[in-house]
Amino acid sequence: MIKVQHLIGQPVIDYTTGKQAGVVKDIWFNEHWVLKGIIVETSRWLSRGITGLLWDAVVACGEDAVLISDRQALRKLNADEVTRCFQTGAVRLKDLPVITQEGFQLGRISDVYFDQNMGTPIVGYELTDGFISDLREGRRWLRISDYPDEVTLGEDAILVPVRAEEDLQHMATSESVN
C-alpha cells in the first residue's frame, strides 16, 4: 500500500528520458474520492497556475520517486478540476474528522492509503488524535475498504459505520501498514 504523504515531495521523473519533471505537491481526487491525479510543482519560474497529470500517466511509485510515462503528460489544470485534494484545494482530506454514524469522532485524517495494484480507491485512513496522543498511543489505522458502501465522504466530515470503532488498529507512527 502507498501512503499519500510518502508521495508528497518525491521527484517526478520522466520514464523516457530520466529527467526530473517536477516534485509531487499534492494528490487530487474525483467527486467519489477516487485518486485522479498528481499535482506537480515544476521548476519553471514562469509557470503559473496548477500543473498536474492524470493518474494513468504514472508508471510507478517507488520509495524515492514517481515515474511518469512522459513529460508531455503534464498539463495545466483548471482550479475547478482539483477541488478535492489531500492537503490543498477547496475540499481537503487531510485533517477531516472521521465520525461514526452515531456521532462519535474517531480522529482526524493524518494520511491516506491506496493500493496501486487495485486501482485508485482509498483503502484506509491513518487517524490522529493529536501530537501527544500520537506519541503516547501511536496513530490508528482504519481500513475503509471493509465498508465499501457504508462510508460517506463529505466536505466537512467522513462518516463511517459504528462497527468501525471496533476495527481501528493501533500502529506506531513510523510503522508502515501492509
CA distance 104 to 162: 8
Sorted by where each starts, the structural domains of the chain and their CATH numbers stand as 2-89 (2.30.30.240), 95-171 (2.30.30.240)
User: How confident is the prediction along the chain (178 residues), in pLDDT tens digits per residue?
Assistant: 788 999 999 999 999 999 999 999 999 988 877 889 999 998 765 557 789 999 999 999 888 999 999 988 999 988 888 888 999 888 899 999 999 999 999 999 999 988 776 556 788 899 988 777 767 777 888 888 888 788 888 889 999 999 888 888 655 443 444 4
CA distance 126 to 170: 10
How many angstroms from the chain centroid is the CA of residue 134?
A: 20
pTM of the model: 0.81
Exposure string over 58-82, b if 16+ CB within 10 A, otherwise e: bbebeeebbbbeebebbeebeeebb
